[in-house]
Copies of this chain bind each other. A is one copy, B any other.
């Protein structure tokens, strides 16, 4: 073989290899994303959902999609997650949809609703009952994609310094309970007070507030409320609080298909995982609290109070639904789904548990 022919052959081989390699190298492009959360860096299990999601994405993509999770101490904007993802300062966010109901009322019902669905019921609504399509519709105007981001399970109704026996006991009570549930209770005569988390314990201890709502034993235990308020009421207002992943649509569309699939799957599994994690944490924490503080009483609001809360809730929802056709569509969809699925919940887990407590 003369040297010219050899050089040509090598050139052809090199070109072939270059072609292959370019394709491979293009695929090996590393995407570096940033995610902003509402939560502090140690607020387990909320912070674990985005952290675990990012870890899974990095491992499954072999380092091709790396998501840096910024806790609230970094970006200082706990309730600005939607704005930052929408504006492109962050590629992703992790928060709760109901935090921006003041800006866009349509986003409210994707977290949880008083007297609404339990966690499995709500996941069934999201994934098989039209919930996902409605949520995408609500966020389309922001050019943001949205996904379930982890469920707390049923939240407790709150810590009370005194037992609540009648509707009169609620009147004039100072309670920290934010959001829509606070509006419901305000209709029953409570004074809803907004207090920063860091001051909650002292406020409850000193009687500045008579009651407060946080999450459930798993997250309440480190706040210490059980040391100063002996009545722990069961929940009615947040039966299945689903956090949320937000993704900037333009940035999502830039990802190759396999990285999009990896991201979607990691968000989905980490949201289920948080539900299970908090179930475990709540079980462990309540066991610890009950052992160390045996005087704490689990109470359920008496029926007349529950009925009054339901009535106030229904009235507020009817008013709210008038303000947006999409909100009405979502609330109607949830109501219809819940009516059907609750029959199955009763036949299956409820009647089983009734005989096995």
Seen from chain A, the residues whose Cβ lies within 8 Å of a Cβ on chain B are 3-4, 6-7, 10-11, 13-14, 17-18, 20-21, 24-25, 27-28, 56, 59-62, 115, 118-121, 123-124, 127-129, 153-154, 156, 216-217, 234-236, 239, 256-258, 261-262, 265-266, 268-269, 272-273, 275-277, 279-280, 282-284, 286-287, 290, 298, 300, 303, 306, 340-357
Contacts and interface: CB of A to CB of B under 8 A. Distances in A.
Contacts of A269: 265, 268-269, 272
Given A60-B261, A236-B352, 4 more contacts: A60-B60, A124-B276, A234-B348, A298-B347
A interface secondary structure, majority: helix
A24 B99 CA distance: 45
A85 to B, nearest CB: 23
A59 B261 contact: yes
B353 A345 contact: yes
Given A13-B14, A60-B262, A128-B280, A286 B347 contact: yes
A284 B352 contact: no
A154 B115 CA distance: 23
8 contacts: A21-B24, A124-B280, A128-B277, A234-B352, A282-B348, A300-B354, A342-B357, A350-B353
B4 A340 contact: no
A67 B269 CA distance: 20
A217 to B, nearest CB: 7
A258 B153 CA distance: 32
Contact of A276 (B27, B28, B123): B123
Contacts of A258: 59-62
Contacts of A347: 156, 234, 286, 298
Candidate in A13, A25, A265, A287 with the most chain B CB atoms within 10 angstroms: A265
Which 10 pairs of residues, A with B, have the shortest CB-CB distance?
A24-B24, A154-B348, A7-B7, A14-B14, A128-B280, A62-B258, A283-B344, A269-B269, A272-B272, A17-B17
A279 B341 contact: yes
Candidate in A14, A266, A357 with the most chain B CB atoms within 10 angstroms: A14
A129 B101 CA distance: 37
